[in-house]
Amino acid sequence: MQRRYLLTTIAAAAASTLAAPAFAKPARADQFADAFARQPLLRAMKGVSDATGDLQADASVRGRWPAGLRGRFYRNGPALFERGGERYHHWFDGDGMVQQFTIGDGRISHRGRLVRTAKLKLEQAEGRFVRGAFGTSIDDNTPAGGPDSFNTANTNAVEHAGRVLAMWEGGSAYGMDPKDLSTLGPVTWRADLAQVPFSAHPKIDAQGHLWNIGAAGKALVVWHIDAQGALVNVQIGESPFPGGMVHDMAITERHIVVPLPPVQLDFNRPAGNGPRRFEMAPGEPLRVLVMEKADIKRRRVFELPAQMVFHVGNAWDTADGQVMLSLVASDDLWFLNEGAVAMMQGRLMSGTPGAAFGRVRNVALAMDMRTGRVKSQAFKGDVEFPRVDPRLIGQRTRWLLNAAAWPLHAGRGDTTLLHGVQLTNTDTGRIRRYDYGAMLVVEEHILVPKPGKTGELDAWVLGTTFDARRQATVLNVLDAARIEDGPIAQAVLPYMLPLGFHGNFTAA
């Protein structure tokens, strides 16, 4: 059991072969050059190099940035996709690059830096990819020390207790200095917690406490960090679906809530000639694990029809013993296996069946902790990147913010690349949205509360877009109460950044 346990533990982070199968080689770096030249929406997915992975510039400001919006907006995402003439197959593979937009006094400056992970440093020194990646097998025998040998720190960034945490899913968070984004190294909090997975979607409660999960084989870790960045405790429980993908989590006043889609990440399976593929485990449901914060052994597992879930919106406890949870669910693994690979090849998937609209949606669950029953309600719209008012994480909310796509633009019949932002009232189902246009790609947007205001929509909507006409990344600010009007101000960078994942704002 010990062996099996340890195997699945590391398998979540490692590329390996049990029986020396034929490895799927990375693509050639020059293979898709023409495709990127022809597809302006995806040109930034060529990625950065060691030389271009550190960027700094003042943005060109358009419109009037709100005086009350002052602080640092961080984003993270895979950015370096090619090395030694090889190219990764999958968007999720790239080495992480953290972007920092400093906003204040009507000026916006940008700094972007690759996270100097152990993996990046090793591969820079060797001049080639050494470690296996999420969607690409790398045939190499260099001994690995554990999950952090594969850690790309490429998924999310948040400033907490004076340092930036650049987070991945299967290993430690990497600390960075907010002043210059220099990499401080893995953050372990305690010596015996080195390399223990610290997932990319921690939630910070109203008191500034940070809660997170980490999954390794059978083990499910719950982290609790206080507002000063000190470890309160770590609890280790057992996953009801060992070895599955565990990506995001929610908190309530009393609970930790973790969706467990029936996706087995089997990195040992021969990958064939191409990217790795993942499958829904036959007959397995979507599980939602609800654990008490005070003692995670006190828990309940809710089961729903099989669905893929990457992200949660929010969760809260009700007075009558229910846990409410919003999440984004899809019918299948189309994006994981097809969309995120096509992006890396400079291809849009317009017209292909999997890319059709109506497959990726907001869902609200009402889970009764007494009876174990769960009710599910789906909302309209193809969406991703759900966010809520950060002051209300773990508490009752009515509005969800998403990046979205809908059938509007010719040639954009594809839900991989989003073109709008959308607010959904989860009480009424009402949708309010803004379309950025056919020649832009919309990345995650977040809600930033206006100082001194308390309403959920007394907030700015802050997020980046890739403008394919300018071939530039743009930071946008909208007023949540009038999201339909579009940006009230923008900041245009003199360069493009690879499309990224997630980010957070820290007020100055």
- Nearer to other proteins by C-beta: 167 or 493? 167
- Nearer to other proteins by C-beta: 138 or 289? 138
Contact between 1 and other proteins by CB under 8 A: the answer reads: no
Contact between 196 and other proteins by CB under 8 A: the answer reads: yes
Nearest of 192, 191, 193, 231 to residue 211 by alpha carbon: 231
Nearest of 386, 467, 383 to residue 420 by alpha carbon: 383
Nearest of 359, 371, 237 to residue 307 by alpha carbon: 359
Nearest of 52, 109, 56 to residue 491 by alpha carbon: 109
Cβ pair 315, 255 in contact under 8 A: yes
Question: Shortest gap between Cβ of 196 and other proteins (angstroms)?
Answer: 5
* H-assigned helices in 32-117: 33-38
Contact between 301 and other proteins by CB under 8 A: the answer reads: no
- Site residues for other proteins, window 60-119 (CB under 8 A)? 118
Contact between 15 and other proteins by CB under 8 A: the answer reads: yes
Contact between 127 and other proteins by CB under 8 A: the answer reads: no
Nearest of 478, 485, 375, 360 to residue 417 by alpha carbon: 360
Contact between 3 and other proteins by CB under 8 A: the answer reads: yes
Residues ≥6 apart with Cβ < 8 Å to 332: 280, 308, 354, 359
Question: Shortest gap between Cβ of 209 and other proteins (angstroms)?
Answer: 21
Instruction: For the beta carbon of residue 207, count every other beta carbon within 10 angstroms.
Output: 7
Cβ pair 336, 308 in contact under 8 A: yes
Stretch that binds other proteins, among 5-13, 73-81, 153-161, 474-482 (CB under 8 A): 5-13
Stretch that binds other proteins, among 15-23, 203-211, 241-249, 386-394 (CB under 8 A): 15-23
- Site residues for other proteins, window 259-278 (CB under 8 A)? 268
Contact between 122 and other proteins by CB under 8 A: the answer reads: yes
Stretch that binds other proteins, among 147-155, 250-258, 348-356, 479-487 (CB under 8 A): 147-155
- How far is Cα 45 from Cα 39, in angstroms, rounded to an integer? 10
x/- map, 433-472, other proteins, by CB under 8 A? ----------------------------------------
Contact between 378 and other proteins by CB under 8 A: the answer reads: no
Q: Is the dihedral of CA 329, 477, 156, 492 positive or negative?
A: positive
Structure-token pair, residue 232: 């309160």
Contact between 20 and other proteins by CB under 8 A: the answer reads: yes
| Partners of residue 57 on adjacent β-strands | 110
Contact between 219 and other proteins by CB under 8 A: the answer reads: yes
Residues ≥6 apart with Cβ < 8 Å to 346: 32, 34, 35, 36, 38, 39, 42, 43, 45
The residue from 48, 133, 153, 216 that contacts other proteins (CB under 8 A) is 216
Question: Shortest gap between Cβ of 161 and other proteins (angstroms)?
Answer: 22
Question: Shortest gap between Cβ of 302 and other proteins (angstroms)?
Answer: 26
- Nearer to other proteins by C-beta: 258 or 349? 258
Contact between 152 and other proteins by CB under 8 A: the answer reads: no
| Partners of residue 102 on adjacent β-strands | 72, 109
- Nearer to other proteins by C-beta: 76 or 239? 239
x/- map, 173-192, other proteins, by CB under 8 A? ------------------xx
Residues ≥6 apart with Cβ < 8 Å to 357: 382, 405, 406, 407, 413, 415
- With CB under 8 A as the rule, give the number of residues binding other proteins: 39
Contact between 195 and other proteins by CB under 8 A: the answer reads: yes
- Nearer to other proteins by C-beta: 19 or 410? 19
Stretch that binds other proteins, among 9-17, 385-393, 399-407, 459-467 (CB under 8 A): 9-17
Question: Shortest gap between Cβ of 189 and other proteins (angstroms)?
Answer: 11
Angstrom CA distances, 276 to 89, 168, 320, 331, 386, stand at 8, 19, 45, 20, 27
- How far is Cα 315 from Cα 255, in angstroms, rounded to an integer? 9
The residue from 1, 141, 233, 305 that contacts other proteins (CB under 8 A) is 141
Contact between 2 and other proteins by CB under 8 A: the answer reads: yes
Contact between 131 and other proteins by CB under 8 A: the answer reads: yes
- Nearer to other proteins by C-beta: 6 or 508? 6
Contact between 150 and other proteins by CB under 8 A: the answer reads: yes
- How far is Cα 296 from Cα 316, in angstroms, rounded to an integer? 17
Contact between 221 and other proteins by CB under 8 A: the answer reads: yes
Cβ pair 466, 446 in contact under 8 A: no
Q: What is the DSSP string of 385-450?
A: EEE--GGGTTS---EEEEEEE-TTSTT---SSSB-EEEEEETTT--EEEEE--TTEEEEEEEEEEP
The residue from 236, 378, 408, 507 that contacts other proteins (CB under 8 A) is 236
- Nearer to other proteins by C-beta: 116 or 412? 116
Residues ≥6 apart with Cβ < 8 Å to 320: none
The residue from 100, 149, 314, 476 that contacts other proteins (CB under 8 A) is 149
What residues make contact with other proteins under the rule CB under 8 A? Answer: 2-3, 5-7, 9-11, 14-18, 20, 118, 122, 131-132, 141-147, 149-150, 191-196, 216, 219, 221, 234, 236, 268
